[in-house]
């Protein structure tokens, strides 16, 4: 067992960055972290080679993907399969997401 303190807590990005990412856990088959985007901010991520589950902790935004779009807010849980383009847009409140990635984040980058 591992208790992960601070997961899901909003962290403002550094002045020269559009968002903030911190990985809290990396195991053999998955990783987990917190992704924070300020209100009015920009989600600059590219499609990943891993599956992702987003658990919205705070904020409100629209998630736009290849397969559609959805309004998300605290309590929303979204699955995004590997290789699907996705971006959070129209971020009207600071957005904080717990992100579960399987296999671990960037572990397939060289595949």
Kindly report the pTM of this predicted structure: 0.92
Q: d(Cα 63, Cα 90) in Å, to the nearest integer? A: 9
- Percentage of residues of the chain with pLDDT beyond 90: 88
Task: Compute how many other C-beta atoms are within 10 angstroms of the C-beta atom of residue 71.
Answer: 10
Question: C-alpha 58: how far from its chain's center?
Answer: 12
In a domain, 47, yes or no: yes
In a domain, 4, yes or no: no
Task: Compute how many other C-beta atoms are within 10 angstroms of the C-beta atom of residue 104.
Answer: 17
The domain total for the chain is 1
pLDDT digits (tens, 9 = 90+) for 41-83: 999 998 889 999 999 999 999 999 999 999 999 999 999 999 9
CA dihedral 80, 84, 87, 93 (to 10 degrees): -10
Instruction: Name the residue range of residue 71's domain.
Output: 20-102
CA dihedral 11, 12, 16, 19 (to 10 degrees): 70
pLDDT of the residue at 111: 46
CATH number, domain of 94, equals 2.60.120.10
In a domain, 13, yes or no: no
């Amino acid at each position: 067992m591992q208790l992960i303190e601070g997961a899901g807590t909003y962290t403002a990005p550094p002045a020269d960055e559009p968002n903030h990412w911190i990985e809290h856990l990396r195991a053999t088959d998955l990783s987990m972290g917190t992704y924070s985007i300020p209100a009015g901010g920009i989600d600059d991520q590219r499609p990943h080679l891993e599956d992702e589950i987003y658990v919205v902790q705070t904020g409100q935004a629209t998630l736009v993907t290849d397969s559609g779009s959805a309004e998300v807010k605290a309590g929303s849980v979204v699955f995004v399969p590997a290789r699907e383009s996705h971006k959070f847009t129209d971020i009207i409140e600071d957005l904080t997401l717990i992100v579960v990635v399987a296999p671990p984040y960037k572990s397939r980058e060289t595949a």
